Structure 1
Amino acid sequence: MVGAGVLGLPYAMASLGWGPGVVILILSWVITLYTLWQMIEMHEMVPGKRFDRYHELGQQAFGEKLGLWIVVPQQLIVEVGVDILYMVTGGTSLKNIHDLACKKNCKSIKTTYFIMIFASVHFVISHLPNFNSITGISLAAAVMSLSYSTIAWTASVHKGVQQGVDYSYKGSTTTGKVLDFFNALGTVAFAFAGHNVVLEIQATIPSTPEKPSKGPMWKGAVVGYIIVALCYFPVALIGYYVFGNNVDSNILTSLQKPEGLIIAANAFVIIHVIGSYQIYAMPVFDMIESVLVKKMHFRPTRILRFTTRTVYVAFTMFVAITFPFFSGLLGFFGGFAFAPTTYFIPCIMWLAVYKPKMFSLSWCTNWICIILGFVLMILGPIGGLRAIIIEAKTYKFYS
């Protein structure tokens, strides 16, 4: 749940301001916890049947074909989008380590090369067969995400409030401020993004009519969300409090000292995104290979697996090198991909399946979440796209 999106939260706060920023963070935490509860409840809503995949839940709510068309494209966008962003994150963190460790007599190396170095790891480990084979990597990633979040806010406290700190909005024009606000909404949405794999996780929990899986799953989700709050809120609020609107799109780039600690934090980010890249890539590999074998009648050989996985890693690397814009990508993918799957599709499913009475508490709550999520889906990508265009103006492609 705690992903690299947490590193962009102080920058989002700089575009949202204190009041709206705190309200949006709390609202996002509450809404996504509510939609997570809905998915946990719907996992076994049909007696004797378990919905182990997001698209299976979609098919139950919307019908066999429509359910696939609504959910599968959204999931693909989420998974591919996250992998592209993690390529950028891994490359940026490698560059941060290089720049911090090598200040004298060192030639500056472009982020492009560091993204290629980061991608080289995935050209190897992407050929591991399944989720079980990346359990160790995944565990390390989980520990690392908690570690670098803690380092980010404790190092900010150690640094202290910067001289001449300014909490006014960054943009110089009203249009600029509004579009920065939109991008920040997408950045927050990206941070709250654990729903795509929640059903797969619940599927691993034993379930009986006396002790359904939703009991322990909900306890786990609550503990997870408390940890999320302990990571997200301090990083967002303390990072913004210390740096104001001068904070970088990645908080670790703003933090230069203590050098050893910040180098360690960047190393933790790299380990984390190596594991997380694979978590999001595995379902894509499965989908591509299934289509090639079942629909296009390719033989399921090692050569097929090697080719598809190598091409996918190369594709995400190429897009990351083309658009290595952390803030813009967070806002764009956060609004376009994460807002639907996290904020409002579970609510639409709930209304379709349970049909609560009009204007009842359940009906009103779900419609409020749907409206807010839909607004987020429209506004986030607009701000993100504009941020990418602005950064692209001064960026030399493939230089």
Structure 2
Amino acid sequence: MSFEKQKMTQTQNLSQEEAARQKQIDNWLPITSSRNAKWWYSAFHNVTAMVGAGVLSLPSAMAHLGWGPGITVLILSWVITLYTLWQMVEMHEMVPGKRFDRYHELGQYAFGEKLGLWIVVPQQVVVEVGVDIVYMVTGGKSLKKFHDTVCPDCKSIKTSYFIMIFGSVHFVLSHLPNFNSIAVVSLAAAVMSLSYSTIAWAASAGKGVQPDVDYSYTAKNASAVTFDFFSALGDVAFAYAGHNVVLEIQATIPSTPEKPSKGPMWKGVVVAYIVVAICYFPVAFIGYWVFGNKVEDNILISLEKPGWLIAMANMFVVVHVIGSYQIYAMPVFDMLETLLVKRLNFRPSFILRFVTRTLYVGFTMIVGIAVPFFGGLLGFFGGFAFAPTTYFLPCIMWLIIYKPKRFSLSWITNWICIVLGLLLMVLSPIGGLRSIILSAKNYQFFS
């Protein structure tokens, strides 16, 4: 009997040791290490995650969609993604005493341990790493535009070098340990996104409607119009891509049974979505109204003058993209560090973190330099990964977990979102793939 008692005591001690080790690891990992965020952290993290430099391509998307469909798609996307974001905030703590701190943990609860990982993680990785690569290119190109606007007579410098300059900032910033430590960077980024969006639509409105403005489709035949339309849908899907980091942001907010984290989180989300509307709708509608179908992919290029204002807007884009890069990189760091420490049993240490994060920044920088046409790839990937994680995965999880009554309002709403999201997922990569093939003639690696 005493032997069995001894064995039981040993087992208890071991499980206590294991629990203590897991707690120590959780206190070290970037997502779960700091839980003292305020509701406004949620607001500016969400603005930084959502209002990407993609806002500057919305007038061009409008030109491919046309007035009616363009306004409908933009407003519908705003409503649907706000609804799916609300679902994710609600699901974060639906099991008493447990928090789903990461998107894949919620996926595992809904679809099962293994299947949940396979459904969520690949899509999340494509979105987060893809966005970071795009932001490397965007940051580099905006720096180049700033340089060329401020000093038109200077010697031309290759975009690759500007991408390296932009990347060097992240070799430093990526070593900030967790979400709360990048709060200042994120706040600056959120303010910048509001600033350059305002410059884009105010400068367009100041220019006034162009004398030769034309609102017809630029493509000459029906198939080209259709493909452009599909590609523009991908651009819109990319504009609403903040869901991939929303549970991770909520994980940083403190929570008690009396005051769950969903209260402050939702407050922050609503503020963020109001800012998103203030940024997106004026830029898209005024930009298209002023320039019609001649609007450039990036509205700042269409504006050209006054030079100092355009230079300033490009610098704002650079600061904003620095913050956005960090917001999307943090969950990737968390995944990599969890894998190394929990699966491969590495010891949590500064060296481990330093090597992992430096390699990641280096990887995104090299891909950005090698494949400067990544924007075209994004329309392609946008549909595959952005549409599911943003538009309909939360709805599927909601139906599985809460099982709303058939034909109830919740059931119908979720199915409408799923159908629209699936359409987006199937159609936008077709347009994206075509634009890649059409531009492939001019593509040069390491250009």
Task: Give the TM-score normalised by structure 1.
Answer: 0.94
Deviation at 1:348, TM superposition (A): 0.1
Q: Which residue of 2 aligns with 1:371?
A: 419
Deviating more after overlay: 75-84 vs 2-11: 2-11
Q: Deviations over 1:59-92 (max 9, x none)?
A: 2211122112111111111110110110111011
> Where does 1:120-159 land on structure 2 (aligned, <5 Å)?
120-159=168-207
Q: Deviations over 1:265-306 (max 9, x none)?
A: 111110111111111112212222332344344555544433
Percent identity at matched positions? 77
How far apart in 1 are the matches of 2:178 and 2:97?
A: 27
Residue 160 to residue 93, structure 1, CA distance change in 2 (3 Å): same
How far apart in 1 are the matches of 2:260 and 2:344?
A: 40
Give the one of 298, 302, 306 matched to 1:258: 306
Q: Which residue of 2 aligns with 1:16?
A: 65
Conserved in 1, the CA contact under 8 Å of 2:179 and 2:249?
A: no
Question: How many pairs are equivalent?
Answer: 398
Deviation at 1:346, TM superposition (A): 0.4
Deviating more after overlay: 271-280 vs 194-203: 194-203
Q: Equivalent residue of 2:97, what SS?
A: coil
Q: Which residue of 1 aligns with 2:441?
A: 393
Conserved in 1, the CA contact under 8 Å of 2:245 and 2:331?
A: no
Deviating more after overlay: 20-29 vs 335-344: 335-344
1:285 aligns with 2:318: no
How far apart in 2 are the matches of 1:295 and 1:77?
A: 22
Deviation at 1:368, TM superposition (A): 1.0
1:231 aligns with 2:279: yes
Q: Which residue of 2 aligns with 1:82?
A: 131
How far apart in 1 are the matches of 2:414 and 2:317?
A: 35
Residue 61 to residue 39, structure 1, CA distance change in 2 (3 Å): same
Residue 315 to residue 326, structure 1, CA distance change in 2 (3 Å): closer
Segments of structure 2 that go 5 or more residues without pairing to the other structure are 1-49
1:113 aligns with 2:151: no
1:93 aligns with 2:142: yes
What amino acid sits opposite 1:195 in the alignment? H
Q: Which residue of 2 aligns with 1:44?
A: 93
Q: Deviations over 1:15-70 (max 9, x none)?
A: 11111100000110110011011112212222232222212211221112211211
Residue 208 to residue 120, structure 1, CA distance change in 2 (3 Å): closer
Deviating more after overlay: 59-68 vs 126-135: 126-135
**Aligned-pair Cα RMSD in Å:** 1.9
Residue 392 to residue 207, structure 1, CA distance change in 2 (3 Å): same
Q: Deviations over 1:333-358 (max 9, x none)?
A: 32122111110000000100111122
Give the one of 13, 29, 35 matched to 2:84: 35
Q: Which residue of 1 aligns with 2:407?
A: 359
How far apart in 1 are the matches of 2:98 and 2:178?
A: 24
1:199 aligns with 2:242: no
Q: Which residue of 1 aligns with 2:225?
A: 177
How far apart in 1 are the matches of 2:375 and 2:207?
A: 23
How far apart in 1 are the matches of 2:236 and 2:57?
A: 8
Deviation at 1:369, TM superposition (A): 0.5
Conserved in 2, the CA contact under 8 Å of 1:5 and 1:330?
A: no
How far apart in 2 are the matches of 1:255 and 1:107?
A: 23
Q: Which residue of 2 aligns with 1:221?
A: 269
What amino acid sits opposite 2:127 in the alignment? V
How far apart in 2 are the matches of 1:182 and 1:283?
A: 30
Residue 307 to residue 50, structure 1, CA distance change in 2 (3 Å): closer
How far apart in 1 are the matches of 2:369 and 2:433?
A: 17
What amino acid sits opposite 1:29 in the alignment? W
Deviation at 1:381, TM superposition (A): 1.9
Deviation at 1:321, TM superposition (A): 2.1
Residue 303 to residue 44, structure 1, CA distance change in 2 (3 Å): closer
Segments of structure 1 that go 5 or more residues without pairing to the other structure are none
